[in-house]
Structure 1
Amino acid sequence: MYTTGTAFLEALHERGVRHLFANLGSDHPAIVESMEEAKAASREVPALITCPNEMVALSAAQGYAQVTGQPQAVLVHVECGTQALAGAVHNVAKARVPVLIFAGASPFTQEGELRGSRNEFIQWIQDVHDQRGIVRGYTRYDNEIRTGRNVKQLVYRAMQIACSDPKGAAYLTGAREVMEEEVPRVELDAGQWQAIAPCALPEQGLQALIADLAAARHPVVVTSFLGRSAAAVAELVKLVERLAIPVIESVPSYVNIPADHPMYLGNQWNAPRQNETLAAADLVLVIDSDVPWIPLVNRPSEDARVYYIDVDPLKEQMPLWYIPSRQVFRADAATALAQINAGLAGVALDADLVAARRERVTALHRRRDELLRAREVAGETITPAYLAACVRDFIDDDTIVCNEGISNYEAIIDHLGMRRPGSMIASGGGSLGWNGGAAIGVKLAHPDKTVVAMCGDGSYMFTVPSSVHWMARRYATPFVQIVFNNGGWKSPKLSTLAVHPDGYASRSSDLGVSFDPPADYAGIAAAAGGALALRVSRPEALRDALAQAFAAVRGGRSAVLDVQLDPL
């Protein structure tokens, strides 16, 4: 039979979905049957990737989409599976990554009126009032499949919205009876369901921005996720080289500019300090950044002219958000920067001003690099800087890093010094546990690449490592996972001390954030997925352990390296 389930799978494949990250349940017989029928008929449908945990499933789909731009799909079990997606839904929403999520729904008949009618007790318990409402605050689109006669149109529309800026997740549900419905075939023209075209800067605003950029004495660019587009990185490099503009990254989730570029002046996270370059700026161009600075401790001067360019400049899902700006533009970064560069080609610049600024910024870049290298010296214990610097020696241009270092984000970015767009990604959100699933998705997308996941011990446990490493072995997606193990949750401790530096918590040795006794992190991966399990606590043993880990992964076996840092 040609059913709604069959048409649904066909629609996914037609829209470029090659992997269906699935946690199957009693609501999926039509899809399981259709997949098996497709195998027998040698018809292409998305490959089923069995995911024992739903958050891992969505994290894997996110990682795949982040490095390819091509959304994949996730299949979960009714409202229970929807809730088990957990914080991955938050990450996809905040990172604006396109993914389609499908969840079945409890059958709506109970006496055999239609194929798929209720036949298990759980189908009464899992019947809830508003299943779509569970994730509605995090999705760009949600709908219920009520008939298979237009299921392809619904899938195409869901994907069109998910892939249009600001991108995000689409969520569809369908009851068993609907998915079992026998329906006629429908053929759609995919060319009529494209994502919206990238937005450009309006001409008047463009000319004002170009004039201010050309006249500024101390301009600066601030960005966070411009690097999701390699074209945007190329245009940014062209702009900052032409005008000698320094670039600051704020909580970056991508490689936005090569780390060795002389106009790059580093990244900033939660450090309670004023960035001197930002404070001295007379013009600030913010491109693709949700949090370009934290006003309580770091901000541009009140006299600085701020221009804001983003695909989501109003941040409509953030109730409290504002950055006073001279002009705000909803525009695609690559498109906007190409417009700016083209406009500047006909503008006469003050050559002496640009040359002096280039010399000054290059000196700052060089000085920063010297300070970073000084921190990489081995001491009595392993520091985050030394660990990241040692990892740097084992990665190459065919390596992709999934960075979930949390309190060590900045150290990882500083000391890996990634140069190629797409060579490092982060979750873009605030729900921990992304890196393991993301590494699987990245490896599925690029089986020829070496994939490295870097995380804290807390974020390692959030990844559900038993599921992650079982999947890595089953689907031949080996990766190196490096655990920055400081014995607990460092970030909550830092947050408490930032608000109460001299309070009771500052004098306590146990704030409820330590992991004592420690878990055998590497051992979990070995037991679940046959990973090489390594633990190192001395600097002199680190490089040998890294060599073993990378050799194992390049030979087809995952490796987990538990690195003991100074404890909390």
Structure 2
Amino acid sequence: MAQSTAHLFLTSLSAAGVRYVFANAGTDFAPIVEAIAAEPGAAFPQFVICPHENLAIAMAQGYYLASGEAQAAMVHVNVGVANAICGLLNVARDNVPLIFLSGRTPVSESGRLGSRDNFIHWGQEMFDQAGMIREIVKWDYELRFPEQAPIIVARAAAIANSAPQGPVYLSLPREVLAQDAPDGARAVRIAAAGPPAPDPDAIASAASQIVAARSPLIITSRAGRTAAGFASLAEFAENLAIPVVEFAANYACLPGDHPMHAGYSPAPLLPSCDLLIMVEAPVPFTPHRVRPAPTCRFIEIGVDPLHEKLPFRGFETDLAIRAETAPALDALAAAVRSHASFDAKAIAARRERLRPELSSARSLRIGKASAAGATITHAYASSCISKAIGTDAVLVNERGCLREAMAFTQSGTFFGPTIAGGLGAAIGVALGVKLASPQKFVAAALGDGSFMFNNPLACLQTSAAQKLGILILVLNNEAWDSVRASTLQVYPAGATASSARAPLTYLSPSPDYAAVARACGADGVSVADPALLPSVLAQAATAVKATGRTFLVDIRVTGG
């Protein structure tokens, strides 16, 4: 019996290294469904049913963050693609490789296997379905003939995994998937291009600037994207006594207790630095609030150091080094040490000056957050959460915890929101991390507004169906506080500042989120007493580890 193009497509995905397809199915999936049903033991990726498209993208994102392996997500024609756009913006801005798949409404009205047989097939056709996301993805293509299936899958995987990484898109007409595959068709091999090596001349120039600098500063958002980058930055900063600011970081880039960790805001050190080294930092600072001195020099390091996909970005750069964090910093450290003007005594003196300053600031920051008050603040909740989950856990944070109140000392233990700012990913990302690392304790922290964006019913159903137990922490202030804060930044003395209830920001009355969790087969409790919070969090973490079931804690917070 001849195999279908859908069968060939699925075996090609497996050959390309795809273990999971996070799927939100539609009428265009018929050949895929039939192929899976016809051969239950075939070498296909495992399909994970996701009741919302954003969940599918987020789980693929989380799986990659934990494993380093790109996966696939498949949705339903144009309406599914539209629903997935928010998630696609997140993975694109964070350079997460993803093979994004969707159906394409049948082309023919009759006469072919898979032709239109439902009234929606006319309404769901677009002149250019891929046009919705062409600016977001690295590459897109529509399957036109059966023999193309293994080629476009291999090419998609290679492009997605080539630096700088990112999502790619394949649309799949139903009639083509339903056709017989050519005899002898098989998966093909197309290798991804490796990351660029640091240019020796650029490294030599950067080393000269570092040796000459008296107050260098490193700002990073994504140096901790890999374990190697995390380790190299820690060694580089310690050996050369250069303070590091994690600004808008969506990875743990440096151990929180590292002697050169300078916190999470560039404001204290940026105005006085004479050399700013931006390592994987799409937005190293906000010029409207703080700027370096006019005499400061600038070095950018990253796989895409100029961040070419950002339409407007005016940060000055004197030297751009296109390379991954670890090889760039390792080469730079060696060049500095061998430089003719290398001054070990000057570096030692800088280290002795910075160590107590940074240590004192760190202790003050952590100590202030851990102090309990009459109500639960975001800072106190963040501090309690940090202690409850421990140093080995993985926290996915989305407008929930305050990073400055927490301590992450290991690579791969913190993932925050991307600069795209697309809410609705944290729980899905956490589920993807848990799927990739079942031995890990995984938590998702998010505000109540973000929680609703996450399509919680879809997430909780998938958690139960896939037996992926995580801890969900809803920091609930019954508001979109980021909207209020943004308004106050623009109008610090405006009407909003004196308003008891800022317009368009309040989400009261608050649903009973704990009851929502229990209705979906998870556990759930609410807590408003700061004295009870540590024990409630400890009990919830223990329960997740003991039962393997998701536990939601609705934390009623006020103020900062």
Q: Does the alignment reach a TM-score above 0.5?
A: yes
Q: Which moved more, 1:252-261 or 1:28-37?
A: 28-37
Paired letter, 1:275: A
Structure 2 counterpart of 1:481: 472
Paired letter, 1:55: N
Unpaired runs of at least 5, structure 2 = none
Q: Is 1:387 matched with 2:376?
A: no
Could you tell me which of 339, 346, 361 is aligned with 1:347? 339
Structure 2 counterpart of 1:449: 440
Cα deviation digits, residues 124-150 of structure 1 (max 9, x gap):
111111111111111111110001202
Cα deviation digits, residues 506-553 of structure 1 (max 9, x gap):
23233121111111122222212x111110000111122112211221
Structure 2 counterpart of 1:94: 93
Aligned ranges 1:388-407 → 2 under 5 Å: 388-405=382-399
Structure 1 counterpart of 2:414: 424
For residue 27 of structure 2, give the secondary structure of its aligned residue in structure 1.
coil
Aligned ranges 1:95-244 → 2 under 5 Å: 95-111=94-110, 113-184=111-182, 185-188=184-187, 190=189, 193-244=190-241
Structure 2 counterpart of 1:271: none
Report the alpha carbon displacement of residue 324 of structure 1 after superposing the two structures with TM.
1.2
Report the alpha carbon displacement of residue 343 of structure 1 after superposing the two structures with TM.
2.1
Report the alpha carbon displacement of residue 309 of structure 1 after superposing the two structures with TM.
1.3
Q: Distance in 2 between matches of 1:147 and 1:123?
A: 20
Report the alpha carbon displacement of residue 427 of structure 1 after superposing the two structures with TM.
3.1
Q: Is 1:552 matched with 2:551?
A: no
Q: Distance in 2 between matches of 1:345 and 1:195?
A: 34
Structure 1 counterpart of 2:523: 532
Q: Is 1:365 matched with 2:358?
A: yes
Q: Return closer, same or farther for 1:450/1:187 CA change in 2, 3 Å cut-off.
A: same
Q: Is 1:308 matched with 2:300?
A: yes
For residue 257 of structure 1, give the secondary structure of its aligned residue in structure 2.
coil
Q: Distance in 1 between matches of 2:438 and 2:161?
A: 24
For residue 28 of structure 2, give the secondary structure of its aligned residue in structure 1.
coil
Report the alpha carbon displacement of residue 487 of structure 1 after superposing the two structures with TM.
1.4
Equivalences, count: 553
Q: Distance in 1 between matches of 2:363 and 2:124?
A: 59
Structure 2 counterpart of 1:335: 327
Report the alpha carbon displacement of residue 451 of structure 1 after superposing the two structures with TM.
0.5
Q: Distance in 2 between matches of 1:309 and 1:76?
A: 36
Report the alpha carbon displacement of residue 397 of structure 1 after superposing the two structures with TM.
4.5
For residue 112 of structure 2, give the secondary structure of its aligned residue in structure 1.
coil
Runs of 4+ aligned structure 1 residues displaced above 4 Å come to: none
Q: Distance in 2 between matches of 1:476 and 1:35?
A: 22
Structure 2 counterpart of 1:18: 19
Cα deviation digits, residues 165-203 of structure 1 (max 9, x gap):
22111110111110111112433453xx22211112222
Asked if 2 retains the 8 angstrom alpha-carbon contact of 1:198 and 1:335, the reply is: no
Report the alpha carbon displacement of residue 365 of structure 1 after superposing the two structures with TM.
1.8
Cα deviation digits, residues 291-341 of structure 1 (max 9, x gap):
000011112111111111122233333221121111122222222112112
Paired letter, 2:199: P
Cα deviation digits, residues 255-301 of structure 1 (max 9, x gap):
11111100111113xxxxx6121111111111101100001111211
Paired letter, 2:104: A
Asked if 2 retains the 8 angstrom alpha-carbon contact of 1:199 and 1:335, the reply is: no
Asked if 2 retains the 8 angstrom alpha-carbon contact of 1:95 and 1:427, the reply is: no
Could you tell me which of 304, 314, 318 is aligned with 1:322? 314
For residue 214 of structure 1, give the secondary structure of its aligned residue in structure 2.
helix
Q: Return closer, same or farther for 1:441/1:104 CA change in 2, 3 Å cut-off.
A: same
Q: Distance in 2 between matches of 1:248 and 1:398?
A: 22
Asked if 2 retains the 8 angstrom alpha-carbon contact of 1:38 and 1:45, the reply is: no
Report the alpha carbon displacement of residue 567 of structure 1 after superposing the two structures with TM.
5.8
Report the alpha carbon displacement of residue 419 of structure 1 after superposing the two structures with TM.
0.8
**TM-score with structure 2 length normalisation?**
0.96
Q: Distance in 2 between matches of 1:48 and 1:281?
A: 51
Cα deviation digits, residues 366-400 of structure 1 (max 9, x gap):
11122121331111111222212222222234411
Structure 2 counterpart of 1:53: 52
Q: Distance in 2 between matches of 1:81 and 1:523?
A: 29
Unpaired runs of at least 5, structure 1 = 269-273
Q: Distance in 1 between matches of 2:127 and 2:343?
A: 65
Structure 1 counterpart of 2:494: 503
Asked if 1 retains the 8 angstrom alpha-carbon contact of 2:11 and 2:187, the reply is: no
Q: Distance in 2 between matches of 1:393 and 1:500?
A: 36
Asked if 1 retains the 8 angstrom alpha-carbon contact of 2:378 and 2:558, the reply is: no
Paired letter, 2:232: E
Asked if 2 retains the 8 angstrom alpha-carbon contact of 1:497 and 1:506, the reply is: yes
For residue 14 of structure 2, give the secondary structure of its aligned residue in structure 1.
helix
Identity of aligned residues (%): 35
Paired letter, 2:37: E
